[in-house]
Amino acid sequence: MTSPTLTSPPPQKPRRRGLVALSAVLAAGLGVTFVAVATNASAAEVPLSQGRPATASSVESAAFPASAAVDGNAGTRWSSTFADPQWLQVDLGSTQTISRVVLNWEAAYASAFTIQTSANGTAWTNISPVTTGRAGEQTLTVSGSGRYVRMNGTTRATPYGYSLWEFQVFGNSVTPTTPTPTPTGPALPTSDRPDFGPNVRIFDPGTAASTIQSAVDQAFNAQLRSPTAQFGTQRHVFLFKPGTYGRVWANVGFYTTVAGLGINPDDVTINGAVNVDSGWNYGDEKNATQNFWRSMENLSIVPEGGTNRWAVSQAAPMRRVHIKGNLTLAPSNQDNGQGYSSGGYLADSVVDGVVSSGSQQQWYTRDSRVARWDGGVWNMVFSGVQGAPGNAFPNPPHTTLATTPVTREKPFLYIDSSANYRVFVPALRRNSAGASWPNTAGASIPMREFYVAKPGDSAARINQALAQGLNLFFTPGTYSLNDTIRVTRANTVVTGIGYPTLIPTGGVEALNVADVDGVKISGITFDAGTTNSPTLMTVGRAGVHTDHAANPTSIQDVFFRIGSSVQGKATTTLAVHSDDTIIDHIWAWRADHGGAPTGWTVNTGDTGLIVNGDDVLATGLFVEHYQKYEVIWNGNRGKTIFFQNEKPYDVPNQAAWIGPRGNGYAAYKVADNVTDHQLWGGGSYAYFNVNPSVRVDRAFEVPNRAGVQLRSVLTVSLGDVGTIANVVNDTGGSVPNPAGNTTPRNVVAYP
């Protein structure tokens, strides 16, 4: 029986806002340029320290680093060694005017300390008198300026060290809702018929089938059982202009995209297959669990033999596709204990026949139509899917919601009747179900309003394009960034094809999105650089709550890696401060393997996602292997539909992994002060292969109140390697499950 509490999300609660910005709805049509209107700037006290680089005179152990005091999480802390004096400092990034400091002391506080500022981190000025601390929160009104701010403790109140849950620095800053950047240099050229670079092949119906087959075979065969392909620099995009194509069998490897260039999927028909299977990946030929970083979009397939195979795992979306037959998501060798596959994402698609999930451990399907769905291992989640199976978790493991609360489909490239290229931006939908096409509502933007970025472009050039008022279109390749890409204009579209990969250098943040309406970020991959970045991507500004419900920012098919071809480091990969943001399919991954060596002290990363915004929705959230809380949700009225997680494999021992509430860190942490939060369909798995004796006390950690609800959540010990003691808080029981190998623990509803 389908539970009425699960088939449809409850209505949103009324908002309580201090200030609500006046917004206008602009008509959109062919050739529309989105125009952002700046409002008056106003002075406001804002938090300056959260997520910024922090250092300390000492740490009690690796479990209590300086960064824990500025991570926005009151459950983690910095603690010093047991000696006087000690200090903790934060780098604000530039000189700021400081008005207030909030210290949240643990029981080990300072009986004498001062707050100091510095322009260079060397010469310090007191901006507070010598002050006595106290356990708990302490607020100091101060007056001064500096890039660096520190708590300088001279006397301890206890025999232990100095210990702060949070160290928050506030200042007065002018924050326009839509800053107007000033372009520098001559205007960058644009075109409605741009050159997409050598990694993009474009076919038309007149292209010989043998030519197409040769091109796709050459791209795939170069990766066949290659020891370097998984983290290589190769990028391939195959675009098909409207029309019907003869027999094409396209095997899809790493960093490969196959997409149609019609306004609707049925404008492009491929006879044959767009195929992903096992047997080709070096060192793991028997499984499909590493079939990452490939995609299929905006076309229809008449599958040879009646069934198309798409045996993928993370970061391999299928969007806006019409399968005129059956679809199988499992590899051809799935039987006899072989051929595992690890979970993927399907949206805005139609499958005329049966979808068979086979050996897929988990899968999320959104806003689509299928004739029937067969199968399920641990966690199959559906929202807005016509023809989806009824809610039955855990037997079978189907979690079904009749609609998706808010959706905006991913922007896509197409070619118009004049042979000009355009990007279509679908409109927002509420309580959606089924595919958005044909007749998709939205706006079409000509390519002349995009800067088409290519590998080798600098951050300065990309920011110049944004300052010029252009959108961004990233072509396939890798981009080294010595500065942050800053998106400050409302309704800016930043999209890419073929897994363009942004790599920050020198510890900078790769992408920062202002707290403005309607920014669309999609199709981008981030690799952490060798110098630690506090964050790889930020949306909005900490402490700022502007109502963006009518036109939220959306993040789609955006993937983060800490450790890949480089030994990357990042404290947090994605921080979302803007209210109402839509997170639609991300994979934040601290690598358990890579082209460069990986390990507990090598590719370091605390948290995959921090959500501080209210009313944020995540649909298809994949976060894996981080060293502390992997998801921290501080905002109210948040919703997640489908969550997939694996705990870090490489914890060396229990002493190195003690969290604020016992052994290890939960995968999904809802802050204690949150009063309203909902999660449907979440799984967390342990595989502590470096030290199987390691345990984590719980996979999901949430406040115990009626408004915080989890539905269909589970834990698994993969191969019975390592222990998760409970599913949610102290509920659900332990894995390994005594009933047998790799048997999950399930919690249908909490509380």
Task: Return d(Cα 603, Cα 649) in angstroms, integer.
Answer: 13
Element (H, E) at 200: strand 200-203
Cis ω for the linkage preceding 159 (within 30 of 0): no
Element (H, E) at 461: helix 459-467
Whether residue 624 contacts residue 662, with contact meaning beta carbons closer than 8 Å, is answered with no
Task: Return d(Cα 453, Cα 671) in angstroms, integer.
Answer: 39
Task: Return d(Cα 428, Cα 440) in angstroms, integer.
Answer: 10
Residue 709, token pair as written in the block: 């609800």
Task: Return d(Cα 55, Cα 51) in angstroms, integer.
Answer: 12
Between strands 318-323 and 344-347, the pairing is parallel
Whether residue 10 contacts residue 145, with contact meaning beta carbons closer than 8 Å, is answered with no
**Annotated catalytic, 45?**
no
Of the residues 106, 409, 509, 646, only one is catalytic, namely: 646
636: Cα separation from own chain's centroid: 19
CA angle (150 as vertex; 146, 154 as ends), nearest 5: 140
Task: Return d(Cα 497, Cα 525) in angstroms, integer.
Answer: 10
Between strands 677-686 and 294-303, the pairing is unpaired
Sign of the torsion angle spanned by Cα atoms 286, 288, 294, 297: positive
CB within 8 Å of 595: residues ≥ 6 apart: 228, 230, 231, 232, 564, 565
Closest CA to 489 of 117, 699, 178, 157: 178
Report the half-sphere exposure of 72 (CA within 13 A, side-chain side).
Answer: 32
Alpha-carbon separation of residue 721 from 300, 306, 648, 713 (angstroms): 42, 40, 12, 20
8-state DSSP, 310: B
Active-site amino acid positions = 646
